[in-house]
Chains A and B, each alone.
Chain A
Amino acid sequence: MKQIIELDVNDEVHELAVEPYDSLLRTLRDRAGMQGTKRGCDSGGCGCCTVLVDGKAVYSCMTMVMSVIDKKITTVEGLPEDGELDPLQQAFIDAGAVQCGYCTCGIMMASKQLLADNPNPTEDEIRKGISGNLCRCTGYQKIIDAIKMAAAS
């Protein structure tokens, strides 16, 4: 049976009707209508659904929404500030790091935590930081270039 919850997504409180078994991913996409967060494998294997919970990257497909109702959720829609793209978003454009684009939002969210924890990562640290995200276009090099550019900006 559905129940009403309040969920803080990108500093805005959303009142949503959710099932007790809903994942955070389903809540974001199908309940809140925020489709920047992508559904790929829906089983923690691809990383498309990565969002931040209290600043930490998690797979939203594996996170039960009822376990995060007192946390702050950040999705790709929450990255721009005052209408300006986040440096990571701009770097992905400038480096040509987007091919089909399906993995992009998840990789940017994983990178967001990486750069918050480690503002000047080595290439190995970047590769480790996004090891939980797959790009089926296999365009990893430009993604890594973009993360380096964002770190330098």
Chain B
Amino acid sequence: MALTSVQSFYSPEDSKGVIELLAKYEDSALIVAGGTFLHGLVSRGLLSGIEALINIQKLGLNQIDVSGATMTVGATTILGQLQSCEQVQKEAWLGAVKDAMTYPPVQIMNSGTVGGSISSSCPFFDFPVTLLALDGNVQAEGGNGARTISLDEFFAGLFENSLEADEFVTGVTIPVPASKSTSAFIKMETNANDLAIINLAVSLSMTDDGSCAGARVFAGGGVGETPVRCSAAEGILSASKLDEDTLEKAGQAAADELDPLSDHRASAEYRKAMGKVLLKRAVTSAIGRLA
């Protein structure tokens, strides 16, 4: 990994310091924390003009707060911290996050951050897909103050997001569901260290009689320039009993909604076929969490 255009490395201690540096360097500054995707951005030629790296690990953003109606996870929270969070381990509605944290190797769990997984805006990542299924939001701060961006509006294309040049991600928020909910996530991968062939997260709100009242389905990993929402599949799952016939139809609908790419990991046809399989498996796994 060589980022030889970089002249300066800063570690400011408050967000004011970060915003001042972003204003000074504009597009030639890059926010870093764990650094685990720097090589991925360098190898895609996306960091050629970067002169300054701004490390935000001294801002104290490595906190998880689950006390209120909204779960807040700070940007520099490492994936390992998220995995050890008691609620992530116990609560069915956070099952998709628990699942996503089982895939990375220990080295990534120890350094990859929640903020980095979002702000890299890489459609192959796992955590953004789970967060989308949980109706998550991005917290950003910049010269004009702090704002909340819904995650599906945050991703604006391949490695593109809707942050202003002087803004950075300070954390993510997830609304705690008011009614009984459950979720699950599945990643297909060639090895523990590779990006997803395809991944899929599903979140279901359930009625007391075991019917599905509402569903969120998102897929990622080579299925589009951003993670893809499978709205038709959501419609079929909602107001259903989630029986085998429904799962079959919803799986097919999800596959029909994907327009994947073919690359060295898998063909488009394979990704589509697996979209159907993963939807059925993820719904089954999510329902299993309520048993």
CB closest chain-B residue, reference A133: B105
Are the C-beta atoms of A21 and B39 separated by less than 8 Å?
Answer: no
Are the C-beta atoms of B111 and A66 separated by less than 8 Å?
Answer: no
Q: Which of A1, A19, A46 has the most CB of B within 10 A?
A: A19
Among B33, B39, B192, which residue has its beta carbon within 8 angstroms of that of A132?
B192
**Which A residues lie within 8 Å of B9 (CB)?**
20-21, 64, 66-67
* Interchain CA distance A59-B105 in the complex, whole Å: 10
* Interchain CA distance A50-B111 in the complex, whole Å: 12
* Interchain CA distance A47-B40 in the complex, whole Å: 16
Are the C-beta atoms of B39 and A58 separated by less than 8 Å?
Answer: no
Among B53, B57, B111, which residue has its beta carbon within 8 angstroms of that of A20?
B53
Asked whether any CB of chain A lies closer than 8 Å to the CB of B2, the reply is yes
Distance (whole angstroms) from the CB of A113 to the closest CB of chain B: 6
* Interchain CA distance A50-B104 in the complex, whole Å: 15
* Interchain CA distance A137-B95 in the complex, whole Å: 37
Are the C-beta atoms of B1 and A42 separated by less than 8 Å?
Answer: yes
Interface residues of B in 103-119 (CB under 8 A from A): 104-108, 110-111
Interface residues of B in 84-124 (CB under 8 A from A): 104-108, 110-111
* Interchain CA distance A134-B105 in the complex, whole Å: 11
Among A42, A47, A61, A67, which residue has its beta carbon within 8 angstroms of that of B105?
A47
With known contacts A57-B107, A110-B107, A42–B39 Cβ distance under 8 A: yes
* Interchain CA distance A113-B110 in the complex, whole Å: 11
Are the C-beta atoms of B32 and A61 separated by less than 8 Å?
Answer: no
**Which B residues lie within 8 Å of A64 (CB)?**
9, 32, 35, 38, 53, 55
Are the C-beta atoms of B3 and A58 separated by less than 8 Å?
Answer: no
With known contacts A64-B53, A66-B55, A132-B192, A43–B1 Cβ distance under 8 A: yes
Q: Which residues of B approach A to under 8 Å, CB–CB?
A: 1-4, 6-9, 11, 32-36, 38-40, 43, 53, 55, 57, 80, 104-108, 110-111, 191-194
Q: Which 6 A-B pairs have the closest CB atoms?
A: A132-B105, A131-B192, A20-B9, A21-B6, A21-B3, A66-B9
